[in-house]
């Protein structure tokens, strides 16, 4: 393109980043929250404190209870998935499919009684997790849009690296007192460069996680499109069995669970049961990944009629398959303990900040000269910036708030939580349109800070078992969660103060004027 290689790359970086920036911000924020998906789900079901987890020795009986429930509730389902209780998820988590075109089902049971557990209906952290790669759209649409955004981010990262002339000498530079354009550029560089290995890793491995959907052509040519055979041959699943179309009684799962536990030393996560009451009925026991980076669940497949072991899958992947599962594992970071998880979370926050500062930078760089009217494109970008950077965090906070404030017995409760999420997002995106631009930023940031505080208040007010109401007894999780919300509130309040203090290029001032009030000076917004 004109102007040489570096200019073309700068152009590519600017525009590729802008067009997908708003969606990317949502993907980054919900993905970062998903590092604590299980904790969020647990927090959103405070009744779980009353449920005791089941010991490994009880699992065969617990699985039988799940099967008894499914026999009554979903006898004609094509497949059943039984999530067995874990220390951090003490309930039986059941899911069943009826085949194409018919809705699937879901239930949570008390593992000790086999009856539906008295917990509030919520999608918990799973909503944020699925939003991260489906955007709450039909899966096919959502995943393709996320994939295109991720691919564009990869291009934006590469062109950004190429554009950045002095990557080493600017590595540590954040000039907070300079003109806002300068400090936003520094913040964009610092968040981008400091966590660059993370950004490249998370983008590429994210695409790889759904790679066979985006790039199925290898399976098309080498397997004539038969992806199940590909998965089985590469060692990721046990060999699939089609129905034999001969009826046969399915054997009890208890002994199979006991045998699976004796075969693999890892924690048993769940069972999948397909082709029930058919001669090819198959029960697969799926275990947690062993210690390591790779997303590689050991599996034991049983003949559902005889109860005999068909196949044991545990390790032994070839190089490329191992690379693939390691990439998926790196993306999901199941392996990370508390400290490493926190570092991943921090890197995710930096990714979100990189996207947000990049978006704001675009609009700052195009502010009109004094007295001039902002062009339509700029006003559109400014509105979308506020709508995503303020709107999404506000929506997440309202989602948590709705979980605490909606009555637990409300019919369709989990759907109402999600409606609250989107209603808050729409409101937080529309209200600023009626306000002066910079006021809208500081008000929006204050609003998000206030919502985070409201979550903490609602948590303490509504949860009787909250540790602060029991003199420190009870689950520390609630304290951690509330502490994180307080930290976020402080972060947003700090940002609001910065925006309010900065006397920025208002229409009556020349653009290059010093724009930050001196430290200590009173805000005069």
Partner 1 sequence: MTPAILALNLGLSFAALAALCLSLNRHHADIFGTKPSGRRVVLLRVLGWAGLVLGLVVAGEAEGWDFGPVQWIGALSGAGVGLVLLLSYRPRLVTPAGAAALGLALAGGALLHFA
Partner 2 sequence: MAASRPIERAAILGRVVLAAGGGYAVAALSTALLSVTLPMPRSEAVTTATLLSFAILAGVVVLVFALATLRRAAALVLGAILVLGAGLWLAAGPFVLAGGAS
Q: Interface with partner 1 by CB under 8 A: which residues?
A: 169, 171-176, 190, 194-195, 197-198, 292-293, 326, 330, 335, 337, 339-340, 343-344, 346-347, 350
Residue 343 interacts, among partner 1, partner 2, none and using kind-specific CB cut-offs from 5 to 8 Å, with: partner 1
Q: Does the protein bind partner 2 through residue 376 (CB under 8 A)?
A: no
Backbone angles phi, psi at 281, to 5 degrees: -55, 135
Residue 243 contacts residue 280 (beta carbons within 8 Å): yes
Binding residue (CB under 8 A) for partner 2 from 141, 217, 422, 494: 217
Give kind and range of the element (H or E) at residue 481.
helix 476-501
Region from 21-29, 210-218, 278-286, 385-393 binding partner 2, contact rule CB under 8 A: 210-218
Which residue's CB is nearer to partner 2, number 2 or number 524? 2
Which residue's CB is nearer to partner 2, number 115 or number 220? 220
- Cα dihedral across residues 318, 211, 132, 149: positive or negative: positive
Residue 316 interacts, among partner 1, partner 2, none and using kind-specific CB cut-offs from 5 to 8 Å, with: none
Backbone angles phi, psi at 63, to 5 degrees: -65, -40
Which residue's CB is nearer to partner 2, number 38 or number 151? 151
Tell me how far, at minimum, the Cβ of 317 lies from partner 2, in Å: 10
Residue 197 contacts residue 343 (beta carbons within 8 Å): no
Tell me how far, at minimum, the Cβ of 204 lies from partner 1, in Å: 14
Reported in sequence order, the residue ranges of 247-308 that DSSP labels E, i.e. its strands, are: 268-274, 282-287, 299-303
Instruction: Report the alpha-carbon angle 132-390-37, nearest 5.
Output: 30
Residue 43 interacts, among partner 1, partner 2, none and using kind-specific CB cut-offs from 5 to 8 Å, with: none
Dmax (CA) for the chain in angstroms is 83
Q: Count other Cβ atoms within 10 Å, centred on residue 482.
A: 21
Which residue's CB is nearer to partner 1, number 191 or number 272? 191
Tell me how far, at minimum, the Cβ of 150 lies from partner 2, in Å: 9
Secondary structure (H, E, C), 499-515: HHHCCCCCCCCCCCCCC
Residue 317 contacts residue 235 (beta carbons within 8 Å): yes
Tell me how far, at minimum, the Cβ of 325 lies from partner 2, in Å: 10
Region from 152-160, 179-187, 333-341, 370-378 binding partner 2, contact rule CB under 8 A: 152-160
Q: Does the protein bind partner 2 through residue 2 (CB under 8 A)?
A: yes
Tell me how far, at minimum, the Cβ of 295 lies from partner 2, in Å: 14
Cβ within 8 Å of residue 375, ≥6 positions away = 366, 368
Give 272's strand partners: 81, 284
Tell me how far, at minimum, the Cβ of 341 lies from partner 1, in Å: 9
Distance, CA of 111 to CA of 51 (rounded, Å): 9
Binding residue (CB under 8 A) for partner 2 from 155, 309, 423, 486: 155
Q: Does the protein bind partner 2 through residue 368 (CB under 8 A)?
A: no
Region from 23-31, 154-162, 255-263, 449-457 binding partner 2, contact rule CB under 8 A: 154-162
Instruction: Report the alpha-carbon angle 338-124-347, nearest 5.
Output: 40
Give the tokens for residue 218: 């290898």
Which residue's CB is nearer to partner 2, number 162 or number 486? 162
- Cα dihedral across residues 51, 333, 130, 269: positive or negative: negative
- Angstrom CA distances, 381 to 212, 261, 387, 389, stand at 34, 56, 10, 12
Which residue's CB is nearer to partner 1, number 111 or number 206? 206
Instruction: Report the alpha-carbon angle 5-149-228, nearest 5.
Output: 120
Q: Does the protein bind partner 2 through residue 327 (CB under 8 A)?
A: yes
Tell me how far, at minimum, the Cβ of 296 lies from partner 1, in Å: 12
Distance, CA of 447 to CA of 425 (rounded, Å): 12
Query: What secondary structure letter does DSSP report for 83?
Result: E
Q: Does the protein bind partner 2 through residue 318 (CB under 8 A)?
A: yes
Q: Rg of the chain's alpha carbons, rounded to an integer? A: 26
Tell me how far, at minimum, the Cβ of 207 lies from partner 2, in Å: 5
Residue 480 interacts, among partner 2, partner 1, none and using kind-specific CB cut-offs from 5 to 8 Å, with: none
Which residue's CB is nearer to partner 1, number 138 or number 337? 337
List residues near partner 2 by CB under 8 A. Answer: 1-3, 5, 7-9, 11-12, 151, 154-155, 158-159, 162, 204, 207-208, 211-212, 214-215, 217-225, 230, 233-235, 318-321, 323-324, 327
């Amino acid at each position: 393109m004109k102007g040489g290689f570096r200019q073309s790359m700068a152009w590519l970086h600017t525009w590729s980043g802008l067009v997908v920036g708003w969606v990317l911000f949502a993907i980054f924020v919900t993905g970062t929250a998903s590092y604590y998906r299980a904790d969020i789900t647990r927090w959103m079901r405070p009744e779980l404190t009353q449920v005791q987890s089941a010991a490994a020795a009880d699992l065969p009986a617990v699985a039988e209870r799940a099967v008894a429930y499914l026999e009554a509730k979903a006898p004609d389902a094509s497949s059943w998935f039984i999530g067995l209780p874990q220390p951090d998820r003490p309930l039986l988590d059941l899911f069943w499919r009826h085949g194409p075109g018919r809705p699937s089902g879901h239930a949570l049971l008390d593992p000790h009684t086999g009856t539906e557990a008295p917990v509030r209906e919520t999608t918990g952290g799973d909503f944020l997790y699925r939003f991260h790669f489906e955007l709450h759209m039909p899966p096919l649409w959502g995943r393709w849009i996320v994939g295109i955004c991720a691919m564009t981010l990869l291009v934006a990262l590469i062109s950004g690296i190429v554009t950045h002339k002095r990557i080493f000498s600017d590595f540590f530079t954040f000039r907070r007192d300079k003109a806002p354009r300068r400090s936003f550029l520094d913040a964009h560089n610092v968040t981008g460069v400091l966590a660059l290995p993370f950004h490249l890793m998370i983008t590429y491995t994210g695409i790889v996680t759904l790679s066979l959907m985006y790039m199925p052509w290898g399976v098309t040519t080498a397997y004539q499109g038969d992806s199940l055979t590909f998965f089985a041959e590469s060692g990721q699943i046990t060999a699939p069995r089609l129905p034999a179309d001969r009826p046969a009684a399915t054997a009890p799962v208890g002994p199979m669970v006991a045998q699976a536990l004796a075969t693999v030393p890892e924690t048993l996560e769940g069972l999948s049961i397909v082709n029930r009451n058919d001669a090819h009925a198959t029960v697969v026991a799926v275990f947690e990944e062993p210690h390591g980076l790779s997303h590689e669940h050991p599996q034991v497949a049983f003949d559902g009629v005889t109860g005999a072991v068909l196949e044991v899958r545990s390790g032994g992947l070839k190089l490329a398959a191992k690379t693939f599962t390691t990439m998926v594992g790196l993306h999901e970071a199941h392996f990370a303990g508390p400290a490493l998880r926190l570092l991943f979370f921090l890197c995710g926050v930096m990714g979100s900040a990189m996207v947000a500062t990049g978006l704001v930078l675009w609009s700052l760089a195009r502010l009109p000269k004094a007295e001039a009217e902002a062009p339509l494109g700029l006003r559109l970008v400014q509105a979308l910036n506020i709508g995503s950077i303020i709107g999404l965090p506000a929506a997440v906070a309202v989602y948590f708030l709705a979980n605490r404030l909606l009555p637990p017995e409300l019919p369709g409760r989990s759907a109402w939580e999600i409606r609250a999420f989107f209603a808050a997002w729409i409101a937080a995106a529309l209200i600023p349109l009626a306000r002066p631009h910079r006021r809208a930023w500081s008000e929006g940031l204050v609003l998000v800070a206030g919502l985070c505080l409201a979550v903490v208040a609602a948590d303490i007010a509504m949860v009787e078992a909250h540790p602060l109401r029991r003199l420190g007894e009870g689950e520390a999780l609630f304290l951690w969660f509330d502490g994180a919300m307080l930290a976020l509130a402080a972060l947003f309040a700090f940002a609001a103060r910065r925006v309010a203090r900065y006397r920025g290029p208002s229409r009556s001032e020349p653009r290059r004027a010093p724009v930050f009030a001196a430290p200590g000076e009173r805000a005069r917004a």
